[in-house]
Every structure is written in structure tokens, then in C-alpha cells.
Structure 1
Amino acid sequence: DVVCGERFNLVSILAHTAGLDWPGAIEAAHQMVNTAVTQFTAAATEHALYPPCAATDPDRLRQVVRAAGDWHRSVSRYHLQADGCAVQHSRQVDLALTPPTLKSRQFEIDPYPLYERLRTTLPIAYDEPTDVWLVSRHVDVKAALTHPGASNRNYTWQIGPLLGHTIVTMDGCEHAQHRALLTPSFRSKALVALEASVTAVTADLLARMRGRPQVDLIADFTAALPVRVMAHALGLPAHTREEVERLKRWCAIGFAYMGNYRQDPALLTGGLSNRDSFYDFIQPYIDARRIEPRDDLISQLLAARIDDQPLSESFVRSYCAILMTAGSETSHGALANLIVNLLSEPGVKEAVIADPALMDNALTETLRRNPPLQLVLREATEPLQLPSGTIPGGATLACLIGSANRDPARFSDPDTFNMLRAEQATSHFAFGAGRHFCLGSMLARMEITIGARMLLQTFPNLRWAPGFKPEERGFLNRCPDQLEVVL
């Protein structure tokens, strides 16, 4: 690591931050490791006095350490190149051709410099620590998402343990059947009914803000709006603050599990207990709708037929979880990012207030430049011939939406917010592409634009609180975690 200039090696960090020479940095690192071992041994001895549990079981730690050791013995982080070929041991290592890994927190802090590097030097790159191929250019992401050999089978290991076999993991005719089953619930007459719900929920949330000098729009608006709308569509209660907070918590944990491309054990375990808690909550409503159907999505799911057979109980429960989670988390992120652009980009708020129809343009440009969902995964059922290279058959690939949406080869001045973009604006991938294009995209756009329009109509003097500056965070759902405003 020291020879290769690895910036995240402890010795390198100590040498840089403490101004030590290499022998001094090595000795300091040695002392830190010995101190950590002593502290860990003491903690392990203390825990040995108690019955083992998932968090303290020493066998679990041994398994983790053994797996890490096996990985380091079998692979080298530095042999990967853009063409996927291994470097010969006699060749000098070129770290410029080592792709950034999705495990790096820099993707969550600010992924855009990493995207630029990938698009420029490594448009098709293998990320060894996550065993995923990174696809970063607009032309390649489009080709991958629409390729008949790109499957959703990767979700079998991502989401399958949580929800089983659902529309998210399906392909081909099976996927088409289930998509056709759900599509009418988000189109035409159903969309009109949902619009009334969006307007009513938005009006209620805004009324609760009146008279308050300062609010956090994340807590009081953007996170609550889609949760309440989707809960109403399913026929679930979401009227009190406690009910909304409970649903928000379930959705956030469920979404984190579904996007757990790092396979974090804590998320895996927490996701399962979170699912069980949500299923226990919705089961009485499913039972009640079997006896007395209503005009809601749960009743529609119970009445649905595929090949003249009703959906199984597990299908109904899992679809409730998918609709509740997917219908709230990304809409919340997109609405939050739109509000940031409305209040931060010069002249945008004033233009939208003068011409409310421009809100559609502002949202489209937000979805392009600041998409909440930064990547989607696919599995190659065969070698995928993309414009910039080949993905081997059987591989998992990460379509980097956030990178493709800022590709200068497709969008002029891509880092700039320009809501007057012409035909380029609609070619973003915030809702995906191909046969797995987001089923709820029309609801999401309607929900976000209505919410933002009503917000500005009610509070035309809306502005940032003194000293507050919004910051995007995260990677799976990238948006601010606070929006402190003065009304």
C-alpha cells in the first residue's frame, strides 16, 4: 500500500496528518494497533461473561476476519484496467487505471468528480471490492438499461431475501403480466383520484406550517407528503404525526435494504425485522379488505388475477411494501432537490411563481442534474456489447445514473442548472429506461410539481434560514437531510 501510494493506509495517513517520517509513522501505527488489540481483548473478555448474541458472538467476528483474509489472499486491488485485462506482475502498476470503488464514502460525500474520472478514463470499469462493473457514460447507460440481455436477476440477492420473488426481480413475460396488473393503478382515472389526494395532503401540511417563523421542510413537508399519499392509496392510516413517522421509518429502512449494494450485515438483519414489523401492521387491513373491499390498492391487489389465479398472500404483502417504499423515498428526495434549486438558483423561484407551468421544466432539470437515485443495478445474462466496452456474461453492472445525467457528450454545460433546456432535458435516467422504466413516474411527477407549486403559492417569500446552506448527502437516495427555511 505504501509503495503504491494508497491514501487510505494508516501509515500514509499518519505520515501526512502528523508530519512524521516513514519510520515514525510505522511505529505510531504499530502502537495504535497494539492499543486497539488490548482494548478489543478487554472488551471480548467482558462480553464472554454474558450469553452470546448476534452483536457479540465471537464466531461471527471470526467468520468476518476469515472472509477478509481469504479475499486478500486471492485478489489484488491494483491489477484492474479499463479493458478488464489483468496486469502482468512484471508491469509497473498504474493507479490512474484503478477505478474508484463504490465502497468509498466519497461517493456519498461528492460523487461527481469520481463520475468525471470514470467517464474520461474508465467508462467500463470493474470495481473489485463490490464485484460490480461500473458504467458511467450516457450512451453506455442507455444501451445497458435497454439491452435485452440486461436482467433484473441481480435483485434476487438484493431484495429476494426480504420480499421474495416480486415484479422487481422478474423479467420477460412474467414481468409484463405483473406490470400490466399494476399499471392501471397509476394511470388515467386512478391518477385523477391520486391528484385529489396529493392536493389535499399538501394543503394540510402547508396549513400546519402557518404561523411558524422557521421550519425544516424535510421533516414537515418533503418526507411526509409522499408517505401520506401512498398510504392513502393503499388504504393505510397516515393522519397523525406518529403514524406518518412510523411509516417513514419503515420506508427508510426498507429502501436502505433494497439498495444495500455493499451488503452491510447490519442492514441485512435490520431489514428483515423491519419487514416483519410492517407486515404485522398491514395484515389486519388485508384481512379486512378480503371481507369488505374498498377503493384502494390493497383491495385491487386482492381482486387481481394472473392466469385466472389470485395473487398469493405473500405477493400482496410484498407489493404493499414495494409500493409504500418506492413510492415515498425517491419522491421525497426529488422534491427536496427541486426545492433546493428553486431557492438557490438565481431567478428560478421568481420565474416559476410568474409562470407555474415552468415547474415541470424545473423538475425535469432537477431530475437530470440532481437525481435522488444515483445508480441502478442489472445482471448481464450474456456478454453485453456496449459502445465503450463489453460487460462479461453473468456479471452485475451498476448503471451510474448520476454520471450519465451529467455527461458532457449528451448535455451541454451539464453541471449548470438550466430549466430551459430543449430536447436534451428529457433524456435523463432518473426514472430508468427500457422495460423496467419506473411504474410510478407519472404519480411522482404530479406529486412533486403540485407540492412545489402549492408551497410557493402559499409562501411566496420562502427563503433559506439565516446561515443555513443545504448540502446533498448520500448515494442511494442523494438529497439534503435538512431544509431550514423562513416562511
Structure 2
Amino acid sequence: MATAQEIPDILSPEFAADPYPVYRALRESVPLLWHEAMQSYVVSRYEDVERVFKDRDGEFTTDNYDWQIEPVHGRTILQLSGREHAVRRALVAPAFRGSDLEQKFLPVIERNARELIGALLDGTAPGIAPGTASGTVDLVEGFATRFPVNVIADMLGLDKADHAKFHGWYTSVIAFLGNLAGDPEVAAAGERTRQEFAAYMIPVIQHRRERPGDDLLSALCAAEVDGVRMSDEDIKAFCSLLLAAGGETTDKAIASIFANLLAHPEQLAAVRADRTLIDRAFAETLRFTPPVHMIMRQTAKEVTLSGGTVPAGATVTCLIGSANRDGERYADPDTFDIFRTDLTSATAFSAAADHLAFALGRHFCVGALLARAEVSIGVGQLLDAMPDMRFAEGYLPAEEGVFTRGPREVRVRYGA
């Protein structure tokens, strides 16, 4: 059994290059690790991460978000608890489920996918080298990084011409959240982003209050539950969170789905033949290569987990990327298999999910069904447009990132 000193550090280049062997060593040897530089306890086993997220006994809080995300977003729904959290979630949740999602936003998703894929095929999108009968496309640059941000901008009624600003802001926010080593320049850039985004959004919100439209931002301005309405600052913070979380995670999920399926041609062929399997491919991708590898919580009281005891008031870093590959929970955990029987796609996008990529419990991702719709439509349309898609010659996908992780590019070839 390895000791903590023998396992590569989470902040090391070796871990960044391939975290999965490190995760395995942590689960087997040091399931509860005190990380001095991060000032956090690190948990890596499925049973422990699930317990932290479900928090049935009031042992864990999201008080860590006061310093982790408030400097870049402002105060968000993630920091709330009790009735305050329930009311705020009731204000924002309707747009991400049921008739609002189906009637208002599915057409937005379909249109944005169609427009971006059209640009890929006619050679006007970034990342494509067009040929007469075939082309080489980078699905990350040409589609994945643009699609979810464009969808969110359309949903909010914002100008998609500002895509570069949105992408720059959420990239800065994600860098801030993943700044595990405490780089002061990264921290300062994240805090500047909060100011820049507020300067952009607050006037838009105020204008939308005066002249509402048929968009999500107008709905948020008008929403009321038990006499409570969201302030301009509340709405701005939620929009900032939506752009960062919805953009970064769906971006990486789409890239990872194609990287995984293209590396397993028989499973790709099955999805091509039966599009209902896209849900299975998405669920297995969330387990096998989740977009977010770490989520933090704070202990409300002393808690005993596998490997030891965590004192009250401590930060706990939950390694989703490790828990989702725990051999005590999944058979052949390091194998990508959309047909596995220990993962249920029917519940994979709900609080009853048996993977941990969307968290669990009261802070289960409010945008999970939106992500599912984006992935289902985007993947389906790409498979229709490029039915013979395969990796570009000599290309092998490579992941990057520690806090969030995904392929830096997915270069594919289509046509003759």
C-alpha cells in the first residue's frame, strides 16, 4: 500500500497529466488526506463523496463558497440553505424543467446547434480546414466551446456577438475556482471579472425590468415566490453562475462524449443507429470523464469518514473524478461502457443519479436537464451532419485540467 508521501501531489504536473492512477492510490491507501497547501481534507471514495453531497444529517455546509465563489460571482444560490435556498431555487428552477424548457428553450438549443454545424460544414467556423469533399474539424473550437454559451446568451436575451466577452469571463471564473495553488494573478483576474460582468449585466437587467421580453432574464426579473423577488444583484450573480457552470461543464461534456465514443467505434456505431443511447453515452461520460473533478464543502461539526475524522469548520475537497471510478461502486470502473448495468441513464439527470458529476442532495445541479437537452440535440445533429465522423489521421485526444477537465481539442475527419 502506498503512503501519502509516495502518491503524486494533486498540484503536481504528474497529477495534471493523468489523475486517474493517483485517484486509485488515494482510494486504496489514503481515502482521507490532509492537504497542507490547499488547507483542505481530500476524500476520494464514492461512499464518502456521496455522503458529503447528500448530507442527510446536517454535517456539511456550502459556507466554503463565501470565499471560493462569491469573489467572482457575488452571493449565489449555492451559498444558501434552509428556506432561503428553497425559495431562491423555486424562483429559478422552472426555466430549467418542464414546459418552459420544452416550449421556450428546446427551439433555441436546436437553432444554435444547427447554425454552428452549418458554419462548420461551410468552412466559416473556427477549427475547420475545408476540402472539396471532406474536412477536418476541431469539435472543441468549432462547436463545443461556442454552443452552450450561445444557448445561454439566447436564453437570457443577450447579444451573441458578445461571445468573446462571455467566454473570456467564464474562463477567468473557472481559473479562479481551480486556483488551488493560490496564484495571486489568477485571483485578481477573477475578481476583475466580477466587476466587468456587473458593469455589463446590471444595465441590461434594469432595462429588462422596464421592458420585459419573452426570455429567461425577463422571467427572472418578474419571478416571485412567497412575496420574494430577486434583486438586480441576485439576478446578476445567477447569470454569472449560469454562464460559468453551464458553459464550462457542457463544453467539456460534449467534447468528452465524442472523444470517448470515437475511441470506442462499436459504441459510436450503436449510438448512430439508436439515438436514444445518447443519454447512456452522456451518463457514462459523466461517470468516466466528468467535466468537474472537484467540489468543496465545509464541515458543520466533527465528522468521521473513511480513514479518519474531520474537525468542524474544515474544508473538504470531494474528488468526483475519483469517486466515479471507485471499483467498490462500479464494475471495471476504468472502462468506458455505455451499456454498463451499474449506471442508470433514466435517473442520471436527476437528484436520484447514481453518478456524482452533478453532485447530489439539495444542491444537485439545477441545470442538469438543460445540459441533457443540449447534449442530446448537439450530439444528434453532429452525428446527422457527419455520419462518417472519425478521428483525424494521427490524432489522439488528450485531456487537460485539474479542477475541471476535458479534451483540449477533438480533431475529427468527415467525408471522403
Shorter-chain TM-score above 0.5: yes
Greater relative contact order structure (CA < 8 Å, 6+ sep): 2
Shift of 1:332: 0.4
The correspondence for 1:265, drawn from 173, 184, 199, is 184
- In structure 1, the gaps of 5 or more residues are 1-81, 83-93
Shift of 1:423: 3.6
1:155 aligned partner: 65
1:123 partnered with 2:31: yes
**Cα distance in 1, alignment partners of residues 330 and 314 from structure 2:** 29
Aligned pair count? 392
- 8 Å CA contact retained: 2:71, 2:194: no
**Which residue type is aligned with residue 227 of structure 1?**
V
1:331 aligned partner: 250
The correspondence for 1:463, drawn from 390, 403, 406, is 390
- 8 Å CA contact retained: 1:473, 1:479: yes
The correspondence for 2:144, drawn from 196, 207, 222, is 222
Structure 1 residues 353 and 467: CA distance shift in structure 2, 3 A = same
The correspondence for 2:222, drawn from 293, 303, 319, is 303
Shift of 1:308: 2.3
Shift of 1:424: 3.2
Matches within 5 A, 1:86-165: 96=4, 100-147=8-55, 148-165=58-75
2:125 aligned partner: none
- 8 Å CA contact retained: 1:373, 1:402: yes
2:105 aligned partner: 194
Shift of 1:99: 5.9
Q: Secondary structure at the match of 2:77?
A: coil
Q: Secondary structure at the match of 1:220?
A: helix
- 8 Å CA contact retained: 1:369, 1:406: yes
- 8 Å CA contact retained: 1:431, 1:441: yes
1:207 aligned partner: 118
Q: Provide TM-score, normalisation by structure 1.
A: 0.77
1:403 partnered with 2:314: no
Shift of 1:252: 1.1
2:153 aligned partner: 231
- 8 Å CA contact retained: 1:97, 1:121: no
Matches within 5 A, 1:235-246: 235-238=157-160, 240=161, 243-246=162-165
1:484 partnered with 2:411: yes
1:433 aligned partner: 360
**Which residue type is aligned with residue 131 of structure 1?**
Q
Q: Provide TM-score, normalisation by structure 2.
A: 0.90
**Cα distance in 2, alignment partners of residues 291 and 319 from structure 1:** 20
Matches within 5 A, 1:8-27: none
**Cα distance in 2, alignment partners of residues 123 and 362 from structure 1:** 29
**Cα distance in 1, alignment partners of residues 308 and 7 from structure 2:** 15
- In structure 2, the gaps of 5 or more residues are 123-129, 349-353
1:177 partnered with 2:87: yes
Shift of 1:297: 1.9
CA offsets, 1:165-207, max 9 Å, x none?
Answer: 2212112222112111111110111111221111111011111
Shift of 1:121: 0.5
1:168 aligned partner: 78
Q: Secondary structure at the match of 1:413?
A: coil
Shift of 1:129: 1.6
The 10-residue stretch of structure 1 (304-313 or 212-221) with the greater mean CA deviation from structure 2: 304-313
- 8 Å CA contact retained: 1:197, 1:232: yes
Structure 1 residues 263 and 173: CA distance shift in structure 2, 3 A = farther
1:374 aligned partner: 293
**Cα distance in 2, alignment partners of residues 424 and 283 from structure 1:** 42
Shift of 1:274: 1.8
The 10-residue stretch of structure 1 (99-108 or 220-229) with the greater mean CA deviation from structure 2: 99-108
Matches within 5 A, 1:245-256: 245-256=164-175
Shift of 1:164: 3.0
1:89 aligned partner: none
CA offsets, 1:17-49, max 9 Å, x none?
Answer: xxxxxxxxxxxxxxxxxxxxxxxxxxxxxxxxx
- 8 Å CA contact retained: 1:99, 1:127: no
The 10-residue stretch of structure 1 (456-465 or 261-270) with the greater mean CA deviation from structure 2: 261-270
**Which residue type is aligned with residue 375 of structure 2?**
I
2:271 aligned partner: 352
**Cα distance in 1, alignment partners of residues 12 and 81 from structure 2:** 31
Structure 1 residues 414 and 132: CA distance shift in structure 2, 3 A = same
- 8 Å CA contact retained: 2:287, 2:357: yes
1:71 aligned partner: none
The correspondence for 1:444, drawn from 371, 382, 398, is 371
2:351 aligned partner: none
**Which residue type is aligned with residue 112 of structure 2?**
V
**Cα distance in 1, alignment partners of residues 185 and 3 from structure 2:** 32
Shift of 1:328: 0.9
Shift of 1:469: 1.3
Structure 1 residues 144 and 116: CA distance shift in structure 2, 3 A = same
- 8 Å CA contact retained: 1:145, 1:433: yes
**Which residue type is aligned with residue 218 of structure 1?**
V
Query: Relative to total residues, which structure has the larger strand share, 1 or 2?
Result: 2
Aligned-pair identity (%):
38
The 10-residue stretch of structure 1 (411-420 or 248-257) with the greater mean CA deviation from structure 2: 248-257
- 8 Å CA contact retained: 2:64, 2:315: yes
**Which residue type is aligned with residue 175 of structure 1?**
H
**Cα distance in 2, alignment partners of residues 411 and 475 from structure 1:** 23
Q: Secondary structure at the match of 2:174?
A: helix
Shift of 1:449: 1.7
The 10-residue stretch of structure 1 (332-341 or 101-110) with the greater mean CA deviation from structure 2: 101-110
- 8 Å CA contact retained: 2:15, 2:22: yes
Q: Secondary structure at the match of 1:236?
A: coil
Structure 1 vs Structure 2 CA RMSD: 1.8
Shift of 1:259: 3.5
**Cα distance in 1, alignment partners of residues 206 and 250 from structure 2:** 29
2:283 aligned partner: 364
**Cα distance in 2, alignment partners of residues 248 and 179 from structure 1:** 25
Shift of 1:432: 0.6
CA offsets, 1:241-289, max 9 Å, x none?
Answer: xx32221111111222233333321111101222222222223321221
CA offsets, 1:372-427, max 9 Å, x none?
Answer: 10010000011123354322211100110000000011111110111111243551
Please identify the structure whose Cα radius of gyration is greater: 1
